Amino acid sequence: MMQIIIKNLTFETIVGILEEERLSPQKVILYVKLDYVYEAENFIDYAKVSAFLEAEMQQMSYFLLEDALNDLSQKLKIAYPQIHKMKLKIFKPDILLNAMVGVSRCINYSKN
């Protein structure tokens, strides 16, 4: 089993339910951990995963971070069926002055 870890993937995108959040992009930070069976001819390219996540968030302009997590996890599993377990976190670091807030999801496909 191999594990890919992507920390602090940072970019700006439209995300949120408030009117001002729908008008101006805001910073988000993603944390991704993917467990998968490694095979040289069937490896997961972390650069492609990072670009995919950013492009999806930019294109979809999610209203809720929870919706983003659900959608992104489903799309990652389809793109990379060799994933056995994934953990995704999305943070909105600039929403509160005294905290970085976000949501997290962990899925273990080997038990499904």
Exposed, middle or buried: residue 91 (CB in 10 Å: 0-12, 13-18, 19+)?
A: buried
For residue 4, give the amino acid letter.
I
In the numeric block, which tokens belong to residue 38? 């490694």
The third-level CATH classification (topology) of the domain covering 2-96 is GTP Cyclohydrolase I, domain 2 (3.30.1130)
pTM of the model: 0.92
Partners of 70 in beta bridges: none
Note the pLDDT tens digit of each residue in 51-106.
Answer: 999 999 999 999 999 999 999 999 999 999 999 999 999 999 999 999 999 999 99
End-to-end C-alpha distance for the chain, whole angstroms: 18
Domain ranges of the chain: 2-96
